Amino acid sequence: MKKLHYHLVDVFTDRPFGGNQLAVFSDGWGLSPQVMQQLAKEINFSETTFVLPPQDPGNDFWVRIFTPAVEMPIAGHPTVGTAFVLGREKLIDQTGPETMIHFEEGVGVIPVRVQWQNGQPGLIRMSQPLPEFGPEFPDRKLIAEMLSLEPDELDPDFPLQVVSCGLPFLYVPLKNLAAIRRARLRLDLWEKQLKDFASPHLFLLTAETELKNSTVHCRMFAPALGIVEDPATGAASGPLGCYLVKYDRRPPTHSTGSGRAADRHKKQMSFISEQGFEMGRPSLIHIEIEQENDQITAVTVGGQCVFMGEGYFELSES
């Protein structure tokens, strides 16, 4: 029998039983994609990761990410949580207060910065691909019905639009917390009307928040990925920040360049997204968007993690 060791982590939280659950197999060498998928389905978290040697020796690790149903080209909380486990297991060298590593994922190479606190990984930030703004969904009444809401509960000032930083999501702005709390996805309408759209994943947002330091309150539904609702969606948080910047839904303060002529047109905006409150798993995701001459030039998503436990599977080597 072959023992497969895994770690359990809560991601995008600083306390146990918050954030998004993740299982990390820090040594995925020799496992077929079929077995990886079966293990992810057995664990049944929103995602499970497998760490392998890099295909390019210039990178640090190859990370494969699976939901219970499919392999993902990129995902936020699996990237952040995997870096946390590798740091905790001393598989990342601590060369100073911050270490840069590079993960190979389905969309390409993802830079990840690990900040250290007393020899342990603290805040972890991943870079994401630059945004692609996709089509708008034209039927607001249909989306409201799909979410078991009234059409006037959608924010009329902002579009229903697909945005991607490696994985596309349909962003649906709502007027207030009351509306986002009431939302219930109707799978019958989703199956008929959205499953084959440019993105079948619904990301709800409102500027009214639970916590005073948060920028936006969110929920995410992704039945196409085998995820009814997700408590923290890092892959959607980068595009969320880009959406907020594009439609000028930015926080009241944001940093700019140093004042030098070369930096006058550079901006860095920070957001905090709260998610998972309706699921009893509150999550906080830090988002940074950099702009130069009104063009987005960098997207970063990060947060903290909590180690929850470990175990192993026994599989026959035949």
What is the DSSP secondary-structure string of 260-293? Answer: SGGGTTEEEEEEEEEE-GGGT--EEEEEEEEEET
Bridge partners (DSSP) of residue 289 are 269, 299
Look up 153 and say whether it is catalytic: no
- Tell me if residue 202 falls in helix, strand or coil: strand
**Catalytic one of 42, 47, 132, 288:** 47
User: What span, in angstroms and rounded, lies between the C-alpha atoms of 197 and 297?
Assistant: 27
- Tell me if residue 37 falls in helix, strand or coil: helix
Bridge partners (DSSP) of residue 226 are none
CB 171 within 8 A of CB 135: no
3-state helix, strand, coil in the chain (%, to 5): 20, 40, 35
Residues with catalytic function: 47
